[in-house]
Amino acid sequence: MISSKIEEALNRQIDLEGFSSMYYLAMGSWAEVNGYKGVAQFLYHHSDEERMHMLKLFRYINDRGGRAIVPPFAAPQKDFKNIREIFDIVHSHEVKVSNEINALVELCIQEKDYTTHNFLQWYVTEQIEEESLARDVIDKLNLIGEDKGGMYLFDRDLATLTGQQGGGKGHGGHGH
Ligand code: OFO
């Protein structure tokens, strides 16, 4: 059984993971209508992963005697300057998510909820991958700069990177 404090905190995390899913969906849509089909594929896949992160929390809360609630999600930004802006946002958003996961872990220690602490370790590992993936993509964009041919190849590359996102299953490297 989880305490109401932990239940509330996990429900806030549901809100954040669900928002991440919508956010990446919005970015994917922008990329798709602006000619970046590979980037769109990558972001749609990322959006699916975030939904899975959210669902995992739903199942856990309900399994442990709490109740998972679907929150009223905030509408994500729908317009972006360029691909670089999108991945800068992805990176800073993932850093924020990592901070929230760390705060949750800290709360579990305070509350002596070692079961939830254990459950959250999956997220701790996942966040290392998510941050590093976003940094890898930004590194590629830095190399390309303003080069149009480079952007064309980048877009193709991201489509292939899609299959390598691990969803916490421990993918080795990010295709570079
Ligand atoms: Fe759920 O890891 Fe990104 O937000």
For the residues 50-58, what does the mean pLDDT come to?
Answer: 98
User: What are the structural domains, with CATH classification, of the chain?
Assistant: 4-164 (1.20.1260.10)
Structure tokens at 173: 């490297």
**CA-proximal residue: ligand 1, atom 3 (nearest):** 94
Q: What is the pTM of this model?
A: 0.90
For the residues 77-102, what does the mean pLDDT come to?
Answer: 97
pLDDT at 176 over 60: no
Pocket-forming residues, ligand 1, beta carbon under 6 Å: 17, 20, 50, 53, 94, 97, 126, 130
For residue range 99-151, what is the model confidence (pLDDT) as tens digits? 999 999 999 999 999 999 999 999 999 999 999 999 999 999 999 998 999 99
CA atoms within 13 A on the CB side of 102: 8
Structure tokens at 61: 């809360």
Burial class from Cβ neighbours inside 10 Å (0-12, 13-18, 19+) for residue 59 reads: exposed
CB of 69 within 8 A of CB of 11? yes
pLDDT, position 164 = 59
Alpha-carbon gap, residue 36 to 132, rounded angstroms: 22
Q: Ligand 1 centre and the CA of 49: distance in Å?
A: 8
pLDDT, position 162 = 75
